[in-house]
Amino acid sequence: MPRVTFLHPEGKSGEVSEGLSLLEVAEKLGFPLNHDCGGNASCTTCRVDVIAGEENLSDIDFDEQDLLDREALTESYHRLGCQARVLGDVIVQVPEEKFGESEVEKSA
């Protein structure tokens, strides 16, 4: 089973079933990766930077590439957690400024 690691001060790591999206993996591991649009490739709050294992993620499809381009997230390590599916071991960095924004906004 692939091992997925979310690098973050409150990060998580664990083995998961192949084929899950990074967002689904985060939910299984108890890591609250933001997903403001509900995983519909329209918000980028689930964005991660792939540190290792880029080749172990599913290819970028049209919807993911279109949104990344529109948000100027054009480096090859930029991926949307809700769209990238895990095929092998992966390590991703979660931008700290993205983490927990939704919870903060809800309680503000």
Rounded CA-CA distance 85/72 in Å is 22
Nearer to ligand FES, 16 or 84 (CB): 84
**Out of 16, 22, 57, 80, which residue is the one contacting ligand FES (CB under 6 A)?**
80
Rounded CA-CA distance 31/54 in Å is 20
Rounded CA-CA distance 90/2 in Å is 8
Nearer to ligand FES, 1 or 22 (CB): 22
Does 100 sit near ligand FES (CB under 6 A)? no
Which positions from 25 through 64 interact with ligand FES, judged by CB under 6 A? 35-37, 39, 41-46
**Out of 16, 22, 26, 82, which residue is the one contacting ligand FES (CB under 6 A)?**
82
Rounded CA-CA distance 101/34 in Å is 8
Under 8 Å between Cβ of 51 and 7: yes
Nearer to ligand FES, 16 or 23 (CB): 23
